[in-house]
Chain A
Amino acid sequence: MSEPLLRVEGLEAGYGEVQVLWGISLAAERGRLTTIVGANGVGKTTTLRAIAGSLRPWGGRVLFKGEDVTRLAPHAKTARGLVLVPEGRQLFHTMTVEENLQMGAYTGRAARDYAARLEHIYALFVRLKERRFQRAGTLSGGEQQMLAIARGLMADPELVIIDELSLGLAPIVVHELFAKLESLKSEGLTIVLVEQNVHLAFSLSDYAYVIAEGRLFTEGPPAQLESRPEIRRAYLGL
């Protein structure tokens, strides 16, 4: 197996004086969907934010395509092909769908082939094309999530990190989104996903990391993990 696209070693981070991550190590292989699961407040979002650079890590390393990008600002990582789709989507609500997508293509890397990429995105997310001039704030939950992912894709990433895909969405919408992710994966995109629903995460990912209390609890291919009582212990302590 070649060098993973993303490698995280001993990541430590926190907010103010409070340390949340106590040394997280994980890796995302090219072309795979890797998922991170764990209870609320254990540090899943903190991990993603520390990787993407919106939160400064206190210690450890983040390696992307072999390069140490630990201390780089988020826009520098985006320019290298590492994109975060944040929790709660964080769309520009008063802008249209297309304007949001334009904002996603801000970096120089993304500006190349902008028109072609936009068409490609619209082909994949037909619903967004139908609503291209609609204000983002007026879209449904599922459409907003779609837009958030699409906007991330406009930056021409090699790795997309998605924080909480299924939050507040109906199962059928979630499955539609996952279908899109599958087809993106088949085009060579690497995906790291944080997902609240363990069952969903396991059924759709190639590899999983379970986090508890700011540390790695266990890891492995979902088929191996699903049945183990450890998963319940990671969430409930017993």
Chain B
Amino acid sequence: MLRRPFFWIIALTIAVFAAAPRGADVELRESLLLAAVYITLASNLNLMLGYAGYVNFGSIVFFGLGGYFCVYFMGTLGWGLAPSLVASGAAVTAAALVFGLGILRLRGVHFALATIGVNEAVMAFVTNFQPWGGSTGIYLSTELFQPLGGPGPALWIIYYLLVAIMGVSLYLSYFIKRSKFGLGLLSIGQNEDAAAVLGVPTPRYKALAYSASALLPAVAGGLYFFKGAFIQPADAFDLTLSTEAIVITMLGGQGTIVGPALGAYLYEELRGWLLTSETFANFQLVVAGVLLLVIVQFAPDGLMGFFYRRWPRLRRIFE
């Protein structure tokens, strides 16, 4: 594994993320932080979308729930950051197992719609759940940054942790893809019935992939909302974010590992440009939607798919 170039390419990416903002202004760090969040969401989404072929439109529910658990543990129960993150990750993964029992029997369009249903149901629940602030949400006191050395250092710690989560996501995608489990997932994505006839334990594998795709976004959510010191249902369960994650994954190339990262970078650039442009500021999401349609119709393999077809030798280096 250590001999394969891609292992080191991921390591390099993490190093770049870690080193780049030092000595530069805060804007770069914030921009890279957002990119890291997108890459985390897209990479984990890819496990279901690119590998197993199941489109999870409501994947944001893991991010939002992770945020809520973490904010609750820290703000209301007074736990430290590390235990809160671990517990949030565990709680959301367990929740994913439960959701999975309900919806993984469905296929195609029905599954996709059901994932939206899960997100909306959780959002509705949280909006009416007083211990979690209901529709107003929860504010965190800035005192919570003190154990980390105050707001300034805390933001840096959070940044590095998010970069670490992004790195773990990329390595997770990589190891899964090269494992027997990953082969099974890919065969499910190609032809689920034929995979079952060959002995792939499809219910178990889908449940595993779905739960695995929840863990890291949950932790990332915990970090993200802790950083903002505020969480409310509308932000935590915003479907546009998971839709954007899908666009990113498909733009970069579903089923590849570089794809989500490449897509995230390009999408963030595009988004930044659109938001500052006078014509498109309000149409940013429309553009995302149109982009998704175009990709699905004409280039379902995304950019990496195009590169691999044009230069097959790239496959030996990248994944």
A and B touch in the complex (CB under 8 A): no
Which B residues contact A (CB, under 8 angstroms)?
none
